[in-house]
Amino acid sequence: MIAPAVSHEDAPTSTCAPSTSSTANWAPLNGRTAVVVGAGPAGCTLAMYLARSGWKVQVYERRPEPGPANTSRQRSWVLAMYPRGIRPVNEVAQVPLLAERAYKGLVLKPAKPNSKPIVLERTGVLMDRTLLATSLLDAARAQYSSRVSFTFNAALSDVDLTAKAATFASAAATANVEAGKELVAAVAGSSSNSAGSTMAVAGEQQQQYRAQYDLLVGADGSSSTLRSLLTEALPGQFETEVLSPGTGCYKSVYGLPPVPEVEAWAPDSNTPRDQRVQGEFFFFLSGGTKGMMSMCRDIDGNYCGYLAGNAQLFAELKTREDYLAVLPQAGPQLPAAWLPLIADRMMEAPLSTFPTMRSLSRFWAPGGVVLVGDAAHTVTPALGQGLNSALQDCELLAAELAAAPSLDAGGIDAAIRRFSESRAPEVRALQELELLQGSSLSPLGRTSDPAKMLALLVRKWIVIHYSGLALLGTVVATAQAANAAKRRREGKETPAVSRTDRLAEQVEGSYVRDPPMYELLKAHMNYSDMLRRVWGMAALGSAGTFAILYGLVSGAALLASRVLGA
């Protein structure tokens, strides 16, 4: 969401032809090699940025190549991408998935009968994590095959910072080797720095790849091996601060068939299908007493969703009957026809945990080593910014490298240092926004540490006073949207033009334009600006609270003096 600015109402939900459609816009090869650890969305996107700028890129991934045959969707959840994350991908690749999964709103579906849903306007797309990963991989291979290569089943095992070489190990039976790597034969358990000639390896032996680099990028997720190796090699420089432990758990479910009750959840369901705003709604089923349920329409027309709660909740769910009993308590709106299907699938689904939120003070190390995405700054799903902030990392890092006067060792280090120094405060602001968001649901008895208790109290105070003022703005914006829609229906105003106004006309519910804490999804607002806005509004609300308290105390004192004086 840092420049260029994009309107949050009319941001594109379809991809345009990227500048990589031909090699004419590529920079010539610069003789430099980048090694990227991790072939997820951030790793693939950064590889394409670097390839377009003239780098030869080698991407190593410890997991097998993603695909329907070997990737379970049960540990993933449908992701939301906003302009902040869409723009970097569109800049370097053409990904039809971003157009096919348009996202038009989050609906809070109350459990109370006949109550209107609350519709929160959104701009972006929904997509499956596995489909996004495979789409970006396909794009990288199709458009940058001469400059980008991939090796799967290859886990980072060692980094020699002095020699600028990374060693990866994989099982011989499943290794997927592409051209451009030095293959070093070594039996399992041997030193990762072993040298040797290229040779065949079989049985239980292990293949090792030693890759020389000018730039080494860690895009290997919240459990980053590269970050761990840097922590060991550079004591005190890459220690992570745990901001929030990953105590939440979830189970995902896919393939739920459409049923009339669920099709009617969409607040624009009475609008003819060919006149509706493009995209799907995401449904949050509110009013439950056990955990929480969220659902959305999947890319195949069926529905998917997840049940989230604490570890204790899932520890108690041992049988099909246990799930059948708790599901109506988590999502009172769930149709009866779905309950046995969800129970059966959740019995088989693995239990996943939300990540621990960690903070690093720096993302780079001398010698051309840098971290991006969850490897550098883990967040939670609270604001849906993990993927989006990781993709923005790619855009900003690539821009710093492209602007470097020189790509010698000193020039690369200067570029990644600038990226780190400008980016670290920004993503720390995002983490603080997530802590503020989560504080409203955190019980005060969660910790016995006085310092942490005080921090939680302060965050609760900030959220209460920010939300109080933001609620007034929400009420006004909702009323204005409803009045404008009414005037257009009566022919007193010109027809709706923006996607937001068209959606407002079509929904039957309480339409909310910019709900509290989600303004940062606008393409032009960065995290630090949003945090300053929250603090400023909280300060204004606090001043109002103290003024009211002062008036009450002064009034009580005056009354008491009169009573005593009488």
Mean pLDDT on 394-413: 96
Q: Is residue 220 part of a domain?
A: yes
CA distance 521 to 387: 13
Distances (CA, A) of 328 to 11, 38, 287, 394: 37, 39, 10, 42
For residue 40, report the phi and psi dihedrals to the nearest 5 degrees.
-75, -170
CA distance 189 to 187: 6
Both 39 and 164 in a single domain?
Answer: yes
Residue 444: burial class (beta carbons within 10 Å; 0-12, 13-18, 19+): exposed
Which ranges of 380-526 would DSSP assign to H, the alpha helix? 386-403, 409-439, 450-489, 499-506
Q: Is residue 154 part of a domain?
A: yes
pLDDT of 341 above 70: yes
Mean pLDDT on 109-129: 86
pLDDT of 184 above 50: no
Q: Is residue 341 part of a domain?
A: yes
Q: For position 47, what pLDDT does the model report?
A: 98
pLDDT band at 124 (very low <50, low <70, confident <90, very high): confident
pLDDT band at 414 (very low <50, low <70, confident <90, very high): very high
Both 333 and 406 in a single domain?
Answer: no
Both 144 and 166 in a single domain?
Answer: yes
CA distance 304 to 105: 16
Both 237 and 307 in a single domain?
Answer: no
Per-residue model confidence as pLDDT tens digits over 441-457: 666 666 677 888 888 88
Both 276 and 260 in a single domain?
Answer: yes
CATH number where 151 lies: 3.50.50.60
Q: For position 73, what pLDDT does the model report?
A: 63
Both 166 and 210 in a single domain?
Answer: yes
Mean pLDDT on 69-87: 75
pLDDT of 146 above 80: yes
Q: For position 300, what pLDDT does the model report?
A: 85
Q: For position 524, what pLDDT does the model report?
A: 75
Give the chain's mean pLDDT: 83
165-171 and 206-212 strand pairing: antiparallel
Residue carrying the six token digits 């509706």: 276
Q: Is residue 151 part of a domain?
A: yes
Q: For position 509, what pLDDT does the model report?
A: 85
Both 51 and 168 in a single domain?
Answer: yes
Residue range(s) defining the domain that contains residue 85? 33-98+129-173+205-243+357-437
pLDDT of 539 above 60: yes
Both 412 and 532 in a single domain?
Answer: no
Q: Is residue 193 part of a domain?
A: no
Both 163 and 66 in a single domain?
Answer: yes
Q: For position 313, what pLDDT does the model report?
A: 92
Q: How many domains does the chain have?
A: 3
Q: Of 106-120, 153-167, 396-410, 422-436, which gets the smallest average pLDDT? A: 106-120
Per-residue model confidence as pLDDT tens digits over 4-54: 222 223 333 333 334 444 444 789 999 999 999 999 999 999 999 999 999
At residue 370, the 3 state secondary structure works out as strand
Which ranges of 293-408 would DSSP assign to H, the alpha helix? 311-315, 320-330, 339-348, 386-403
Sequence-distant (6+) residues with CB within 8 A of 92 are 18, 19, 20, 45, 48, 49, 52
Which of 353, 375, 410 is the last residue in one of the domains?
A: 353
- Please give the structure tokens belonging to residue 484: 């404008």
Which of 336, 353, 370 is the last residue in one of the domains?
A: 353
Per-residue model confidence as pLDDT tens digits over 186-226: 323 333 333 333 334 444 467 889 999 999 999 999 999 99
Q: Is residue 323 part of a domain?
A: yes
Q: Among 275-284, 485-494, 521-530, name the most confident range.
A: 275-284
pLDDT of 163 above 80: yes
CA distance 231 to 239: 6
Q: For position 74, what pLDDT does the model report?
A: 61
For residue 92, report the phi and psi dihedrals to the nearest 5 degrees.
-120, -5
Which of 397, 415, 437 is the last residue in one of the domains?
A: 437
Both 338 and 266 in a single domain?
Answer: yes
Q: For position 205, what pLDDT does the model report?
A: 61
126 or 245, which is more confident: 126
490 or 90, which is more confident: 90
**Cβ-contact 407, 401 below 8 angstroms:** yes
Closest C-alpha to 150, from 28, 53, 30, 67: 67
- Cβ density class 241-274: b for 16+ within 10 Å, e for less: eebbeeebbbbbbbebeeeeebeebbbbeebeee
CA distance 103 to 280: 5
**Cβ-contact 517, 446 below 8 angstroms:** no
Both 419 and 534 in a single domain?
Answer: no
Q: For position 342, what pLDDT does the model report?
A: 96
Both 135 and 228 in a single domain?
Answer: yes
At residue 369, the 3 state secondary structure works out as strand
- Please give the structure tokens belonging to residue 180: 């451009």
CA distance 320 to 301: 26
Which ranges of 316-362 would DSSP assign to H, the alpha helix? 320-330, 339-348
Give the type of residue at 342.
Answer: I
Distances (CA, A) of 144 to 34, 50, 54, 63, 167: 14, 10, 11, 22, 24
Model confidence, pTM: 0.85
Give the type of residue at 360.
Answer: L
Q: Is residue 284 part of a domain?
A: yes
Other CB atoms within a 10 A radius of the CB of residue 5 amount to 13
Q: Is residue 179 part of a domain?
A: no
Q: For position 444, what pLDDT does the model report?
A: 64
